[in-house]
Structure 1
Amino acid sequence: MATILLTGGAGGLGRSITQNLLKNGHTVLATLEPGGHTLDPQPNLFSYELDLTDEAGCQTLVQKVAAEHGGIDAAIMLVGGFAMGSVVDTDFAAIDRMIRLNFQTTYQVARPVFDQMSRQVDGGRFVLIGARPALMPSAGKNMVAYALSKSLVIHLSEILNAAGKDKNIVSTVLVPSTIDTPANREAMPDADPADWVKAEDIAELVDFVTFGAGKMLRESVLKVYNKA
């Protein structure tokens, strides 16, 4: 089975993906926010507290887990943040914060992982999380910093695909609409969660594009909207 590095394993989506990967027999190396939520101990689950804005720390962790587990077959990066705000309301400090939370935390893990995968015979797979406002200006006009930061994540996936083409390294961005999590239900009590995307379904899709028939896809963006 595969060895997977997963950031944000204790989040609403992260827990579903972690459980699905473990159920399918994979080894999961999950990063957790220092002082934040934890994951219950399970066989083949290894947790590491790490501030993903610490570039040196990210490089050290990737080198450590690759050495201990014989490589990294896939990296699934879920850490991020959200903010509202129109162009008029959004100063550059707000943009910088969203870039740090959504892009920096992704890039600083992707960079050393890509280097590791480049030296592996079988390459590897990336799964990143985008956002619909990054693709649709009409959806992003009231969440400008968030949309801009997620657009960088999408472009990073395209670059990883281009750089990894001859090394069997493939990157996919999943772009969900609203994910059905307890936090989103609390934040939007009047919405119909039946229209949203279930975290469990995204977890199945992650497995499909990394180790299922979808591993042959070289599509940077998969829109996971359901009816929302």
Structure 2
Amino acid sequence: MDGKVIVVTGALGALGSIVVDQALAAGARVASVDHAPTQVPATSNQFELGGVDLTDAAAAKKAIDAAVSHFGKLDALINIAGGFAFETVIEGDPKTWQRMYALNVTTALNASRAAIPYLTASGAGRIVNVGALGALQASAGMGAYAASKAGVHRLTEALAAEYKGRITVNAVLPSIIDTAANRASMPKADFSKWVRPTELADVILFLASDAASAVTGALLPVSGRV
């Protein structure tokens, strides 16, 4: 990862912040993109772009262009930005399906479309998406979320096929990530079985590295101990 330039979306969240920290520790230069505001000054290794609505294609392109302008190139895009909702099909709001698609699929689509010209020029371009193990078979209350993450899986496969030999495109499929928010929502669960953010970050950064040059189109389960 040394010297690689990486854009991480959803970079200020529970998983994104860990990925950023581990990438920086490995010698990468990181542009952090998030919907939340930030006022952290840019450095030679880190550049934060806050207040970015990645559901807006123009805003996504502006953020990616700014990252490349700052660092001079782009080697990897890690799409972590997204959202979650737990609603049954009948009792939930149909608009939730549109919101989940926008937060999980459209954000990854817009960031990828903006990054692809730069990733192609890299010669070792990488896209890593975050899908979900639960999208392989939706359970009760997970319809909208699972459908959107299934869309991320299909986006991953389509891009991998379209850019084979030029950009690798893969997705990690975690089970339950051990975050403060998930612990609060499921206080009686056995947290020791969940995927730790550092464990998931290790897999993500492997897929973004030169070591994963022969891996593309993979939907890689990261199930922890569930």
Length-normalised TM-score, structure 1? 0.90
- In 2, Cα distance between equivalents of 1:76 and 1:121: 15
Aligned to 1:158: 157
**What SS does the aligned partner of 2:78 have?**
strand
Aligned to 1:45: 46
User: Relative to 1, partners in 2 of residues 1:94 and 1:218: Cα closer, same or farther, differing over 3 Å?
Assistant: same
Deviation at 1:32, TM superposition (A): 2.1
**What SS does the aligned partner of 1:216 have?**
coil
- In 2, Cα distance between equivalents of 1:127 and 1:38: 26
Aligned to 1:83: 85
Aligned to 2:104: 102
Q: Give percent identity, aligned residues only.
A: 32
User: 155-164 or 53-62: which moved more?
Assistant: 53-62
Asked if structure 2 preserves the Cα contact closer than 8 Å seen for 1:34 and 1:51, the reply is no
Aligned ranges for residues 62-211 of structure 1 at < 5 Å? Answer: 62-118=64-120, 120-137=121-138, 139=139, 141-167=140-166, 169-211=167-209
Asked if structure 2 preserves the Cα contact closer than 8 Å seen for 1:10 and 1:38, the reply is no
Deviation at 1:171, TM superposition (A): 0.8
- In 1, Cα distance between equivalents of 2:169 and 2:144: 24
User: 16-25 or 66-75: which moved more?
Assistant: 66-75
Flag structure 2 segments of 5+ consecutive residues without an equivalent. none
Q: What is the aligned length? A: 223
Asked if structure 2 preserves the Cα contact closer than 8 Å seen for 1:31 and 1:47, the reply is yes
- In 1, Cα distance between equivalents of 2:78 and 2:39: 18
Aligned to 2:12: 10
- In 1, Cα distance between equivalents of 2:210 and 2:188: 36
Length-normalised TM-score, structure 2? 0.91
- In 2, Cα distance between equivalents of 1:39 and 1:78: 20
Deviation at 1:41, TM superposition (A): 7.3
Flag structure 1 segments of 5+ consecutive residues without an equivalent. none
Deviation at 1:217, TM superposition (A): 1.2
Measured against aligned partners, the alpha-carbon deviations of 1:150-173 in whole angstroms (never above 9, x if no partner) come to 111110000110111132x01111
Q: Which runs of at least 4 in structure 1 moved beyond 3 Å after TM superposition? A: 37-43
